[in-house]
Amino acid sequence: MNHRTFILFVSMMLLTLVLYQKAQGQQDVRIKRRQFKIDHKEGFSSAWKHRRKGDRAYDKGYGHYQVALSHFKKAHDYNPQNAALNYKMGVCYFKQNQLNQAIKFFNRALSQDEQVAIDVYYLLGRAYHLNYAFDQAIENYQRCLEPDILEELEHKRKTINAYVRQCSNGQKLVKNPVRVNINNLGPAVNSKYPDYGPVFVRGGELMYFTSRRKHEDNDERWLGDNRFYSDIYRAVQVDGAWKNTHLIDEEIFSPHNDAVVEATQDPLRIYVYRGQKDEGDIYYYEKDGDRWRGPKNFSRMINTNAKESAMCFSKDGNTLYFVSTFEARSFGKKDIFMSRRDEDGDWGRPINLGGMVNSSLNEEGVFVNSTGDKLYFSSEGHNSMGGYDLFVAERDVDGNWQEPKNLGYPINTPFDDLLFRKVEGTANKAYYSSVHDENVGAKDIYEIIFLGEKRDLHYTPIREPLAWKARPQKEMLYQVPQKLAIDTTLYVTGKIIDSLAREGIQAKIQVIDNQKNKVIATHLSDTNGHYMLQLPEQKKYGIEITAQGYLFYAHDLDLNQAPVKNDTLRRNFSLDKVEVGTKMVLENIYFETNSSKLKPSSYPELKRVVKLMQSNPGMKLEISGHTDDVGSYLANKKLSRARAKSVVEYLAEQGVDRARLTYKGYSFTQPIATNDTPEGRQKNRRVEFKVLEK
Amino acid sequence: MRNIFFIILITCMSALNLYGQKQDNSVNELYNQAVDQIKARDYSQAIDYLDAALEKKPAFQKGYFERGKLYFQLDSTRRAIRDIKRAIDLGLESGEAYFYRGYLDYANQQYDSALQKLTRAIQSGYKSSRVYYIRGLVQYALADYEGAIMNFTMAIDGKYDFTYAYHERGSAKMQTGDIQGAVNDFKKALTYNNKLPFLYNNLGRALAENARYQKAIEQYSQALKLDPNYYQAYVNRGIARISREKYEKAEKDLKKAVNIAPDQARSYNNLGLLYMNTRAFDKAIEQFNRAIEKNQELPEAYLNRGLARENQGNRDKACLDWKMAKELGHKKAADYLDDCD
């Protein structure tokens, strides 16, 4: 009979089934056949068989709940209304940490039978508590404290009250989460069984940890909790990833519950809790070449007949912090102690760290930082939110430990948060064992990364703040310029001369804008007849020149046709002196077709004649009409005479004494140009006057 | 003798005067032909005419000024500045000339000088909407956002449908924290021109600033309808989708932005932040590395990479990144370094 079989045998002898059930934490509830069977419904026999198989697995406790559940589910298919079955299914889910399902089935059982089990409120409270639903947890815990239930659960009164306090702590802690990342070390390290208690050597590259996983030399369960025995494993970190996880060398392997609690680099030692005798003591192994030498009892001063389960050295190795259940010196069941190494290298008498650190409940897993002024540990007391929470106590200047502070949510959970370790040189990183959503197994090893103050992420949205920058529209700024005025001024210069004497005479020159029928310039030539006219643009103007004792000159001057050079037209004008017998063709005299009626356009020229006569009061004129040779002589004679008469009539109307005017029609007898061309005939159709007296 | 001299002098002066007038005419004719070309939008031909005019009359102020304006339209800023300055040096007293000098100073980021010249343009009676608009831009550049808002308002008063002025006023309001005012102005700008993608983009940004992410996403989508390659809108929509925890769609947007503009560091930075949100710190760092590779002076990428590294427990490297961000002038970096040794 090996050691493990022996333990099993003894345990079976000692523990009754009832006690065993109590150890598992739930009540023995029977599913009664009478209540389970549904009249006239087929399938009872099979369902009942599954109920029985389920109960059998259920009664075995941890490790068997999944099997129990698979049978209960089949029974449930037959009768989902059975409160006891639903309760048991709730328990199965609860024990497997499937809390939402547990809550669902406990509530269902309660709705079917409020008295299904005396601990149903308690378990429902636990499920809510572990699921962070602190309000509902408190509600259910408080229901347990009501007299009808408390009567049966009196032995749990202290525990329930503690849970209520923990829920209250949890409410506060969850409201103020600390800034950390909690990373599961992943399946390379964690198994589906509990994994915990990492310690480090080689600057954090080599990790030893404890696991309760099943392996070929470990296929039996420890009766204490029906889980597999614990053994020590190792893993190495390569480029930030944990690899090569395997069971530690066989020299260290034992048939007991082994757990690594500390390791040192120089000399390379691992310190092992071994649950062999006295509830468990600490031993160590030292590496000698390729082999581990040991186990050696760590210290008779430290290892007592109580359980010593965790330890940590100060950086210099001369101070030891450890956990012991040594009752005579404890505040609670398990407390943290300190011991100093004396000059001979022996450990001194352990000192309890005192009531500031140790609560009335259990403490576990101790770690001191490299400067020795911060002590990390787990406690069920203080302001834990459930199970063991991690705390840190700081030492004041006098060396006294101050009130521990909860490391906060999400480091701490309503589950056990244990065995905190830091690797020297990585100030913002630590490791511990806990239960989170990411769990690979029942308890996993996690990395904690402590983050600084809350930081915003720095997005770089792209706003184009100015439309002008995004899409400049220069056209928007552009104004098309106005054209500049062009100076079109022309100059007409020359001399006014006597037509016979060819000498210059002073004369008045008027320039008429024919389009506007308006005098636009008046100029007086000098006594030598020189003149210069400034005309605004190159077009046809009317020019009228008058001089005392001379007949007027009135003609158009078309600058577009004239030989303009360098904006200047040189032009002399000759005037005929007023002499008896002098003739002058009146330009610009127009009649209606085949009529003697004057057109108004003739009036300017006729007015010039009026002026001439006014400035020469003794002057008498003969007004004569002339035609071309088209038509008969007599008809042309009549027309030319009538037209001459019309001119005389107009002049008379303008105030010229009729006695000074005579008129005659000469038909085509006095041509001044050929009648063979239209231009010649045009010239021959005219009105002229002849000076009769001056 | 004196009379003869006087007559000769007068004759010469008249001749000179005539020559001058004749020359001005030919210069003005060339200028007018340039104007015809400007109206026909043939700016190069217009410049040729002005060149010819200036060859005939090297002191032709308006010739320089209009040629400068044309160079400005053709993006030949240095030539534009030279010509417009020459026109002013030759005595051209024109509000429009000061306006252009002011604008060109603004374009050259000489904001104080720009402000002076634009103010002078206004003082000389050139009170067009455009001068207030550009003065608003200058004040925006000088971070005088209240002044900018006032000028953009004056520009709008003179031109009620001045889309750009509404938009810029909205941007200035964003800077003063008047987000709702900005939203209103961007919307107003859109009522006068709903074909400009950046108007939707910026309206989206303002809405996102007010945490109206869904509305913002709608605006970015409008921008993308108008311009399916508008990577800025992809970036912003991606960010808005991160805020709404629509990570898959956000990743699509941000990756699209990267595809369209692979050299834009900001896209990688935001893609990195998406991965930060999904706690994929390795992937996030990869993107921040790319952002830094594209733009070594993007402080946000260093800050964010530092945060990713901090999240991975690598505080030392995080501190190096934050130090770099501080050197690059990011205001928040100094706070981060408080946690570093």
pLDDT digits (tens, 9 = 90+) for B160-184: 999 999 999 999 999 999 999 999 9
Query: Does the distance separating the beta carbons of A457 and B73 come in below 8 Å?
Result: no
Q: Where does a domain end: A450, A466, A491? A: A450
Residue B270 is nearest to which of A459, A471, A489, comparing CB atoms? A459
Contacts of A489 in chain B (CB under 8 A): 21
Residue B198 is nearest to which of A470, A484, A489, comparing CB atoms? A470
- Asked whether residue B19 carries a pLDDT value surpassing 90, the answer given is no
Query: Does the distance separating the beta carbons of A567 and B235 come in below 8 Å?
Result: no
Residue A2: the pLDDT is 42
- Residue B107's pLDDT band, with cuts at 50, 70 and 90, is confident
**Do A350 and A481 sit in the same domain of this protein?**
no
| Residue A198, in any domain of the structure | yes
| Residue B230, in any domain of the structure | no
Q: How far is CA A242 from the centre of its chain?
A: 36
Kindly identify which residue of chain A lies nearest to residue B37, measuring between CA atoms. Answer: A480
Q: Where does a domain end: B92, B120, B135? A: B92
**Do A111 and A82 sit in the same domain of this protein?**
yes
Phi and psi torsions of B129, nearest 5°: -55, -35
Residue A465: the pLDDT is 78
Helices (H), ranges, chain B: 2-39, 43-56, 61-73, 77-89, 95-107, 111-123, 129-141, 145-158, 163-176, 179-192, 197-209, 213-226, 231-243, 247-260, 265-277, 281-294, 299-311, 315-327, 333-336
**Do B87 and B113 sit in the same domain of this protein?**
no
**Do B115 and B167 sit in the same domain of this protein?**
yes
- Asked whether residue A24 carries a pLDDT value surpassing 50, the answer given is no
Mean pLDDT of the A124-150 span: 92
Residue B130 is nearest to which of A426, A429, A477, comparing CB atoms? A477
| Residue A408, in any domain of the structure | yes
User: Residue A100: in which H helix or E strand, if any?
Assistant: helix A99-112
How far apart are the CA of B25 and the nearest CA of chain A, in angstroms? 5
- Asked whether residue A598 carries a pLDDT value surpassing 80, the answer given is yes
Query: Does the distance separating the beta carbons of A476 and B164 come in below 8 Å?
Result: yes
- Asked whether residue A669 carries a pLDDT value surpassing 50, the answer given is yes
Residue B171 is nearest to which of A466, A471, A486, comparing CB atoms? A466
Mean pLDDT of the B250-267 span: 94
| Residue A13, in any domain of the structure | no
Chains A and B form CB pairs within 8 A to the count of: 146
Instruction: Dig out the tokens for A407 from the structure.
Output: 């490391």
Helix (H, G, I), strand (E, B) or coil at A605: helix
**Do A513 and A594 sit in the same domain of this protein?**
no
Residue B247: the pLDDT is 95
- Which are the contacts of B48, defined by CB distance < 8 A and separation ≥ 6? none
Describe the crossing of helices B77-89 and B61-73 by its angle, rounded to 10 degrees: 160
What CATH number is associated with residue A498? Answer: 2.60.40.10
Contacts of B208 in chain A (CB under 8 A): 461
- Residue A75's pLDDT band, with cuts at 50, 70 and 90, is very high
- Interface probe with B: pick from A471, A477, A491, most Cβ of B within 10 Å: A477
Cα separation, A449 vs A180, in Å, equals: 5
- Asked whether residue A645 carries a pLDDT value surpassing 60, the answer given is yes
| Residue B103, in any domain of the structure | no
- Residue B221's pLDDT band, with cuts at 50, 70 and 90, is very high
Mean pLDDT of the A331-346 span: 89
- Asked whether residue A679 carries a pLDDT value surpassing 80, the answer given is yes
Q: Where does a domain end: A556, A577, A598? A: A577
Residue A26: the pLDDT is 61
| Residue A437, in any domain of the structure | yes
Q: Where does a domain end: B92, B118, B134? A: B92
Residue B206: the pLDDT is 95
Instruction: Dig out the tokens for A647 from the structure.
Output: 């001119």
Q: Where does a domain end: B158, B193, B228? A: B193
What is the average pLDDT score of chain B?
Answer: 90
Structural domain containing residue B58 = 30-92
Residue A73: the pLDDT is 95
- Asked whether residue A123 carries a pLDDT value surpassing 60, the answer given is yes
Cα separation, B164 vs B155, in Å, equals: 10
Query: Does the distance separating the beta carbons of B130 and A468 come in below 8 Å?
Result: no
Mean pLDDT of the A622-651 span: 93
- Asked whether residue B45 carries a pLDDT value surpassing 70, the answer given is yes
What CATH number is associated with residue A681? Answer: 3.30.1330.60
Chain B interface includes A516 (CB < 8 A): no
Contacts of A461 in chain B (CB under 8 A): 205, 208, 235-236, 239, 270
| Residue A14, in any domain of the structure | no
DSSP state of A345: S
Residue A460 is nearest to which of B21, B269, B339, comparing CB atoms? B269
Chain B interface includes A565 (CB < 8 A): no
Phi and psi torsions of A251, nearest 5°: -60, -30
Structural domain containing residue A525 = 476-577
Contacts of A449 in chain B (CB under 8 A): 310-313
The answer to whether A507 and A456 have CB atoms below 8 angstroms apart is no
Strands A374-379 and A389-394: antiparallel
Residue A427: the pLDDT is 76
| Residue A517, in any domain of the structure | yes
- For residues A402 and A223, the model is more confident at A402
Chain B interface includes A659 (CB < 8 A): no
**Do A524 and A534 sit in the same domain of this protein?**
yes
Mean pLDDT of the A185-199 span: 94
SS3 of A7-20? HHHHHHHHCCHHHH
Cα separation, B127 vs B242, in Å, equals: 46
- Asked whether residue B12 carries a pLDDT value surpassing 50, the answer given is no
In DSSP notation, B38-70 reads HHTT-HHHHHHHHHHHHHH-TT-HHHHHHHHHH
Q: Where does a domain end: A531, A547, A577? A: A577
Residue B313 is nearest to which of A426, A476, A487, comparing CB atoms? A426
**Do B87 and B116 sit in the same domain of this protein?**
no
| Residue B231, in any domain of the structure | no
Query: Does the distance separating the beta carbons of A479 and B96 come in below 8 Å?
Result: yes
- Asked whether residue A199 carries a pLDDT value surpassing 50, the answer given is yes
Mean pLDDT of the A128-152 span: 91
What CATH number is associated with residue B183? Answer: 1.25.40.10
**Do B56 and B113 sit in the same domain of this protein?**
no
> In angstroms, how far is the first alpha carbon of chain A from the final one?
177
Mean pLDDT of the A635-662 span: 93
Query: Does the distance separating the beta carbons of B18 and A459 come in below 8 Å?
Result: no
Contacts of B134 in chain A (CB under 8 A): 477
Chain B interface includes A477 (CB < 8 A): yes
- Nearest residue to B168 (alpha-carbon basis) of B135, B125, B197, B195: B135
Describe the crossing of helices B129-141 and B163-176 by its angle, rounded to 10 degrees: 30
Chain B interface includes A487 (CB < 8 A): yes
Helix (H, G, I), strand (E, B) or coil at A256: coil
Mean pLDDT of the A23-29 span: 60
What CATH number is associated with residue A192? Answer: 2.120.10.30
What sign does the dihedral A181-A186-A189-A194 (CA atoms) show? positive
**What is the number of alpha carbons within 13 Å of residue B216 lying toward its C-beta?**
25
| Residue B65, in any domain of the structure | yes
Query: Cβ of A104: how many Cβ atoms within 10 Å?
Result: 16
What CATH number is associated with residue A137? Answer: 1.25.40.10
Q: How far is CA A566 from CA A570, B15, B26, B136, in A?
A: 11, 11, 13, 53
- Asked whether residue B210 carries a pLDDT value surpassing 70, the answer given is yes
**Do A485 and A433 sit in the same domain of this protein?**
no
- Residue B238's pLDDT band, with cuts at 50, 70 and 90, is very high
- Residue B22's pLDDT band, with cuts at 50, 70 and 90, is low
Kindly identify which residue of chain B lies nearest to residue A457, measuring between CA atoms. Answer: B304
Query: Does the distance separating the beta carbons of B69 and A460 come in below 8 Å?
Result: no
Chain B interface includes A566 (CB < 8 A): yes
The per-residue pLDDT for range A522-543, each reduced to its tens digit, is 999 999 999 999 888 888 998 9
- Asked whether residue A60 carries a pLDDT value surpassing 60, the answer given is yes
The domain total for chain B is 2
β-bridge mates for residue B290, sequence order: none
| Residue A374, in any domain of the structure | yes
- Asked whether residue B64 carries a pLDDT value surpassing 80, the answer given is yes
Mean pLDDT of the A188-193 span: 93
- For residues A649 and A216, the model is more confident at A649
- Interface probe with B: pick from A242, A437, A446, A460, most Cβ of B within 10 Å: A460
Residue A129: the pLDDT is 96
| Residue A455, in any domain of the structure | no
- Asked whether residue B14 carries a pLDDT value surpassing 60, the answer given is no
Query: Does the distance separating the beta carbons of A468 and B339 come in below 8 Å?
Result: no
**Do B76 and B115 sit in the same domain of this protein?**
no
Residue B2: the pLDDT is 52
Residue A150: the pLDDT is 81
The answer to whether B87 and B62 have CB atoms below 8 angstroms apart is yes
> In angstroms, how far is the first alpha carbon of chain B from the final one?
103
**Do B46 and B79 sit in the same domain of this protein?**
yes
- Asked whether residue A25 carries a pLDDT value surpassing 70, the answer given is no
- Asked whether residue B15 carries a pLDDT value surpassing 50, the answer given is no
DSSP state of A332: S
Kindly identify which residue of chain A lies nearest to residue B36, measuring between CA atoms. Answer: A483
What is the strand order of the sheet A308-313 is part of? A308-313, A319-324, A335-340, A351-352
- Residue A14's pLDDT band, with cuts at 50, 70 and 90, is very low
Query: Does the distance separating the beta carbons of A486 and B202 come in below 8 Å?
Result: no
- Which are the contacts of A40, defined by CB distance < 8 A and separation ≥ 6? none
Identify the weakest region by mean pLDDT among A320-334, A358-372, B318-332. A320-334
- Residue A509's pLDDT band, with cuts at 50, 70 and 90, is very high
ipTM for the predicted complex comes to 0.77
| Residue B132, in any domain of the structure | yes
Contacts of A459 in chain B (CB under 8 A): 239, 242, 269-270, 273, 300
**Do A43 and A173 sit in the same domain of this protein?**
yes
**Do A222 and A242 sit in the same domain of this protein?**
yes
Kindly identify which residue of chain A lies nearest to residue B315, measuring between CA atoms. Answer: A428
- Asked whether residue A12 carries a pLDDT value surpassing 50, the answer given is no
- Residue B11's pLDDT band, with cuts at 50, 70 and 90, is very low
Residue A428 is nearest to which of B66, B236, B315, comparing CB atoms? B315
What is the average pLDDT score of chain A?
Answer: 88
Query: Does the distance separating the beta carbons of B300 and A428 come in below 8 Å?
Result: no
| Residue B17, in any domain of the structure | no
Query: Does the distance separating the beta carbons of B201 and A447 come in below 8 Å?
Result: no
Residues 149-208 of A with CB under 8 A from B: 181
Mean pLDDT of the A288-295 span: 89
Instruction: Dig out the tokens for A530 from the structure.
Output: 């020189």
**Do A512 and A558 sit in the same domain of this protein?**
yes
- For residues A457 and B302, the model is more confident at B302
- Asked whether residue A375 carries a pLDDT value surpassing 80, the answer given is yes
| Residue B307, in any domain of the structure | no
**Do A119 and A47 sit in the same domain of this protein?**
yes
- Residue B339's pLDDT band, with cuts at 50, 70 and 90, is confident
**Do B74 and B136 sit in the same domain of this protein?**
no
**Do A255 and A348 sit in the same domain of this protein?**
yes
Residue B313 is nearest to which of A429, A456, A489, comparing CB atoms? A429
| Residue B200, in any domain of the structure | no
The domain total for chain A is 4
Residue B23: the pLDDT is 58
- Nearest residue to A286 (alpha-carbon basis) of A275, A302, A270: A270
Helix (H, G, I), strand (E, B) or coil at A182: strand
Query: Does the distance separating the beta carbons of B96 and A452 come in below 8 Å?
Result: no
Residue A468 is nearest to which of B168, B300, B307, comparing CB atoms? B168
Query: Does the distance separating the beta carbons of A566 and B310 come in below 8 Å?
Result: no
Determine if the peptide bond prior to A295 is cis (ω within 30°).
yes
Instruction: Dig out the tokens for A114 from the structure.
Output: 């409020």
**Do A236 and A377 sit in the same domain of this protein?**
yes
Mean pLDDT of the A103-107 span: 96
Determine if the peptide bond prior to A267 is cis (ω within 30°).
yes
**Do A281 and A334 sit in the same domain of this protein?**
yes
